[in-house]
């Protein structure tokens, strides 16, 4: 499932069945987190009105392909520990875990996901009413059924393929760090 899942840009103009978003967020809900803080927050758009408000939050370079996705999710991570008020050092780490759970559930349902950092983060707070002092805007995710790469702009068609990964030896080292 890890090798088969990749971040496509081609989305089919096909709505998701009712309950699909709930299934994705349920998978994310069960992700592990430090002291079970569950610091993630997902705000989503899946109808004409909410998508019209959400799409302009994406950089134009992402809108070229992500505007076809029937579901856009904006990911936030809590900055402070809910009980102690201290900085939550693992908030972004744990939120990444929840995103991966969501991505794998989407893949199991035959959907594709593509996370994007190219977001007008400062504007997400106002559009979604999220308190700036409590959460950090992390990313957006386009979700939908796979589409035809031929429908993408010409310069993106060649990129519509799984890309390689660094060798394991570059990202996992026994004992001590060694420069690659």
- For residues 69-81, give the mean pLDDT: 97
CB contact set of 172 (below 8 Å; sequence gap of 6+): none
Q: According to the model, what pLDDT value does residue 105 have?
A: 96
Question: Where along the chain do its domains lie?
Answer: 20-156
**151 backbone dihedrals φ, ψ, rounded to 5°:** -80, -10
* Beta carbons of 123 and 111 less than 8 angstroms apart: no
Distances (CA, A) of 157 to 127, 146, 160: 32, 14, 5
Q: According to the model, what pLDDT value does residue 150 have?
A: 86
Superfamily covering domain 20-156: NADH Oxidase (3.40.109.10)
In which band, very low, low, confident or very high, does the pLDDT at 5 lie, cut at 50, 70 and 90?
A: low
In which band, very low, low, confident or very high, does the pLDDT at 13 lie, cut at 50, 70 and 90?
A: confident
In which band, very low, low, confident or very high, does the pLDDT at 53 lie, cut at 50, 70 and 90?
A: very high
Q: According to the model, what pLDDT value does residue 6 have?
A: 53
The β-bridge partners of 141 are 73, 115
Triad 8, 104, 132: Cα angle to 5°: 85
> How crowded is the C-beta side of 2, counted as CA atoms within 13 Å?
3
In which band, very low, low, confident or very high, does the pLDDT at 22 lie, cut at 50, 70 and 90?
A: very high
């Amino acid at each position: 499932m890890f090798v088969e899942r990749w971040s496509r840009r081609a989305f089919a103009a096909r709505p998701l069945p009712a309950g699909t978003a709930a299934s994705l967020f349920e998978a994310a809900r069960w992700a592990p987190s430090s002291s079970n803080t569950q610091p993630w927050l997902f705000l989503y758009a899946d109808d004409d009105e909410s998508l019209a408000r959400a799409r302009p939050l994406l950089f134009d370079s992402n809108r070229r392909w992500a505007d076809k996705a029937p579901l856009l999710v904006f990911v936030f991570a809590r900055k402070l520990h809910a009980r102690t008020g201290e900085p939550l050092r693992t908030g972004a780490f744990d939120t990444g875990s929840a995103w991966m759970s969501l991505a794998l559930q989407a893949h199991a349902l035959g959907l594709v996901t593509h996370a994007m950092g190219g977001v007008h983060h400062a504007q997400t707070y106002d559009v979604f009413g999220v308190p700036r002092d409590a959460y950090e805007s992390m990313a957006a995710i386009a979700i939908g059924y796979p589409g035809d790469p031929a429908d993408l702009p010409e310069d993106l068609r060649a990129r519509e393929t799984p890309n390689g990964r660094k060798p394991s030896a570059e990202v996992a080292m026994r004992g001590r760090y060694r420069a690659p």
